[in-house]
Amino acid sequence: MVDEFDPLKGKRLQILRETGTVNKKLEPEIDDDTLIRAYRTLVLTRVSDDKAIKLQRQGRLGAYPPSIGQEASQLGPTMALEENDWLVWAFREWGAITWKGVPLWRQFLYWMGNEEGNNYPEGIRVTPTAVPVGSQILHAIGISYASRLRGEDSVALVFFGDGGTSEGDFHEGLNMAGVLNTPTVFVCQNNQFAISMRRERQTASPTIAQKAVAYGFKGIQVDGNDLLGLYAATREAVNRARDGQGPTLIESFTYRMGDHTTSDDASRYRTKEEIEEWEKRDPITRFKRYLIKRGLWDEAREEGMMAEIQDEVEKAVNKAESYHRPSIDDLFKHAYADMPPELREQMECLKQKEVKE
């Protein structure tokens, strides 16, 4: 598949069309339960996202980067991973980390301003939020190199955005991965914007996928609102990586329907008409149509699921909001494995001030 859709020839993979019909030749085999679970995760991501924005407006959550429109772009690639594979994300991939098992309440907790939100349960191979754009790309290479050296057959998949491809770490990362032939899968969520800057202002390349060619490996551009296409392409990339055939770059061609973060106002740099065009390509509506066509879904089930999800989100928010405020000890004790004496003194000093007030 990756070979057939050569970005240099202007090809873009699409399996699931806007209408909900599929390219039968390329349709991946996914069992019914997994398809339904995928749909549920897409919807859960959107509902959580909407909730997070509302909480931010009420002053109950800090600045937050909405996922709306990119749910399939986050989930499709992640579904191609096994439990033992690593997920290295940036900060706009709730759908991905949810699928990997990061509890929803910890995600809310993080955006409410508590590092404890990054403290995922044991065994979940997901790195924490990485805010400096593109800087996490390199970690995926080291992680996957380490897996291979230690005799595991796990791979690392890393997400970054179109803006991230302008950073030096993108170049150094893909170059390093090519040379070391690491089992790494690069997924660029090209959502067309880096805050206000359009994709064309990031690179003069017609596609991001074609950049892979210069690093000596394959790249493919995929419809980023097509969960099946993303899953299929990534599955192939993951298998190739696991098989020792090195890295792949996947460009997920999607659209950021919301603002960059809750501090941004996207109406300053794009039109309503443009957004309406993309609404027609919505990844969740499309996937729902597919499920209905396959006889896996109907409105009665939808209603039941929505009630369940609303409840799940409310519970997660409550749990995050009632989580205890970090103590002064919490602030200091993770600077080093063993607290240096000087630091202990500073901590005690801060505690004394706290008591006096």
Partner 1 sequence: MKMNMVSAINLCLAQEMERDETVVVMGEDVGVDGGVFRVTEGLLDRFGKDRVIDTPLSEAGITGTAIGMAMNGLRPVAEMQFMGFSYLSLNQMICHAARMRNRTRGRLTVPMVLRMPYGGGVKALEHHSESTEILYAHFPGLKVVIPSSPRQAKGLLASSIRDPDPVVFLEPKRSYRLIKEEVPAEEYTIPIGKARVTYEGDDVTVVGWGAMMPLIEAARKQLEDISVEVIDLRTLTPMDSVTVVNSVRKTGRAVVVHEAPRSFGAGAEISARIMEGAILHLEAPVERVTAPDITVPLPRSEEYYYISPDRIMRGIAKVMEF
Mind telling me the catalytic residues? 256, 260, 269
Reported as half-sphere exposure (CB side, CA atoms, 13 A), residue 328 has a value of 13
Helix and strand element counts for the chain (H, E): 13, 7
Give the burial class of 278: count Cβ atoms within 10 A of its Cβ; 0-12 exposed, 13-18 middle, 19 or more buried. middle
In the complex, the smallest distance separating the C-beta of residue 150 from partner 1, rounded to whole angstroms, is 6
**Residue 343 interacting with partner 1 (CB under 8 A):** yes
| Inter-residue long-range contacts of 33-36, CB under 8 Å, 24+ positions, other chains counted | 34/79, 35/291, 35/294, 35/296, 36/291, 36/296, 36/297
**Residue 83 interacting with partner 1 (CB under 8 A):** no
Query: Which token pair is 284?
Result: 């969740």
In the complex, the smallest distance separating the C-beta of residue 144 from partner 1, rounded to whole angstroms, is 8
Q: Closer to partner 1 at the Cβ: 304 or 340?
A: 340
**Residue 123 interacting with partner 1 (CB under 8 A):** no
Q: Closer to partner 1 at the Cβ: 53 or 137?
A: 137
Residues 209-238 that bind partner 1 (CB under 8 A): none
Alpha-carbon gap, residue 42 to 227, rounded angstroms: 10
Give the helix ranges, DSSP H, for 58-125.
Answer: 71-79, 94-99, 104-111
Q: Closer to partner 1 at the Cβ: 33 or 338?
A: 338
**Span interacting with partner 1, options 6-14, 53-61, 117-125, 206-214, rule CB under 8 A:** 117-125
Q: Closer to partner 1 at the Cβ: 173 or 258?
A: 173
Alpha-carbon gap, residue 335 to 11, rounded angstroms: 48
Query: Which residue of 335, 349, 350, 352 would you call a contact of partner 1, by CB under 8 A?
Result: 335
Q: Closer to partner 1 at the Cβ: 127 or 221?
A: 127
Cα dihedral sign for 46, 90, 221, 5?
Answer: negative
Residue 338: enclosing H or E segment and its boundaries?
Answer: none
Query: Which residue of 5, 108, 120, 193 would you call a contact of partner 1, by CB under 8 A?
Result: 120
Alpha-carbon gap, residue 71 to 16, rounded angstroms: 15
Residues 137-196 that bind partner 1 (CB under 8 A): 137-147, 149-150, 156, 168-169, 172-173, 175-176, 179-180
Query: Which residue of 1, 18, 118, 319 would you call a contact of partner 1, by CB under 8 A?
Result: 118
Size of the site for partner 1 (CB under 8 A): 46
Alpha-carbon gap, residue 258 to 67, rounded angstroms: 7
**Span interacting with partner 1, options 133-141, 243-251, 267-275, 277-285, rule CB under 8 A:** 133-141
Alpha-carbon gap, residue 65 to 260, rounded angstroms: 6
Q: Closer to partner 1 at the Cβ: 84 or 239?
A: 84
Query: Which residue of 204, 300, 337, 355 would you call a contact of partner 1, by CB under 8 A?
Result: 337
In the complex, the smallest distance separating the C-beta of residue 327 from partner 1, rounded to whole angstroms, is 12
Alpha-carbon gap, residue 109 to 13, rounded angstroms: 37
Alpha-carbon gap, residue 57 to 66, rounded angstroms: 13
In the complex, the smallest distance separating the C-beta of residue 5 from partner 1, rounded to whole angstroms, is 28
Residues that bind partner 1 (CB under 8 A): 86, 88, 115-116, 118-120, 127-130, 132, 135, 137-147, 149-150, 156, 168-169, 172-173, 175-176, 179-180, 330, 333-338, 340-343
